[in-house]
Amino acid sequence: MSVLEVKDLHVSVETEQGTKPILKGVDLVVNEGEIHAIMGPNGSGKSTLAYTIAGHPKYHVESGSITLDGDDLLAMSVDARARAGLFLAMQYPVEIPGVAVTNFLRTAKTAIDGTQPSIRTWGKEVTEAMKNLRMDSSFKDRNVNEGFSGGEKKRHEILQLELLKPKFAVLDETDSGLDVDALKIVAEGVNRAKENTGLGLLLITHYTRILRYITPDFVHVFVDGRIAEQGGAELADRLENEGYDRFLTSGDLTGSSLADAAQPSQA
């Protein structure tokens, strides 16, 4: 069974005011086939965890470890992490002018698998995946995310998830900016990918609405760079009713403001 494991992770970022700690000792184990929801207020360190796992150069790991099936992810380049089976769906997907979606997807698949997929088989797979996500076939010829709506960008992220078939996926606020219909389509795609491949999911979100369609096995509440509470799906319902006020001491709020200042706008 594949395992993504985070141990005593401490992460900092450089700001105009100097080095600021963001993650302050995070422990997390995600097994193959499990869905872990990461919830918490703005600036609590959720996206920092996602970017650190993926290898964003802005974040400096002070101590701790991240391993995938026992292999040290922190020693790997970003592309090596992807080949090892890691996938990040970004909160703010970037536009890539001049690169068509169809070329982007096939190039990514080739890089991860080490061999080019059969054009005939691959074409059918892409068409079917786009149909399931209700993406018009014309998207194949458009430049990656260029001129896409927010919902179209998020569906394109899930299209990549379904086609690249990673072992573990980190979804960074994939539900942000989606209307109800788009949210259902995206959630169906995530559930379909999990059912077809058994991947493990780390689902980062502020709200419980996506959890109505993607049921988590575990919920972790992030506050001030730490996991403040853990539980099952019922914890998300409690957060829906009570909010995060009971976690937010004056010290937590100070830490959260630092984390907010450190988040990249698009990366």
Report residue 253's pLDDT band, with 50, 70 and 90 as the boundaries: very low
Q: Please report the pLDDT score of residue 260 as a whole number.
A: 41
Q: How far apart are CA 215 and CA 191, in angstroms?
A: 9
Q: How far apart are CA 64 and CA 164, in angstroms?
A: 29
Q: How far apart are CA 228 and CA 247, in angstroms?
A: 7
Q: Please report the pLDDT score of residue 72 as a whole number.
A: 98
- Provide the b/e sequence for 16-43 (b: ≥16 CB within 10 Å): eeeeebbbbebebebebebbbbbbbbeb
Q: What's the whole-number mean pLDDT along residues 160-167?
A: 97
Q: How far apart are CA 168 and CA 90, in angstroms?
A: 14
Token pair recorded at residue 147: 């001129």
Q: Please report the pLDDT score of residue 249 as a whole number.
A: 60
Q: Express each pLDDT in 203-249 by its tens digit.
A: 999 888 999 999 999 999 999 999 999 999 999 999 988 888 888 76
Q: Express each pLDDT in 101-131 by its tens digit.
A: 999 999 999 999 999 999 889 999 999 999 9
- Could you tell me how many helices (H) and strands (E) the chain has, helices first? 8, 12
Helix axes 150-164, 180-197, angle to 10 degrees: 10
Task: Pick the closest to residue 112 from 88, 158, 74, 81 (CA basis).
Answer: 81
**E strands within the chain?**
3-15, 18-31, 35-39, 59-68, 71-72, 86-89, 96-100, 143-144, 168-172, 200-204, 218-223, 226-231
Judged by DSSP in three states, 251 sits in helix
Q: What's the whole-number mean pLDDT along residues 136-142?
A: 92
φ/ψ of 216, rounded to 5, equals: -80, 145
42 has pLDDT over 50 = yes
Q: How far apart are CA 63 and CA 23, in angstroms?
A: 10
Kind of pairing, strands 168-172 and 86-89? parallel
264 has pLDDT over 60 = no
Non-local CB neighbours of 245 within 8 Å, separated by 6+ positions: none
Q: What is the mean pLDDT of the chain?
A: 91
Q: What pTM does this model have? A: 0.89
Helix axes 119-132, 180-197, angle to 10 degrees: 140
Q: What's the whole-number mean pLDDT along residues 153-177?
A: 95
Q: Please report the pLDDT score of residue 241 as a whole number.
A: 87
Q: What's the whole-number mean pLDDT along residues 22-50?
A: 95
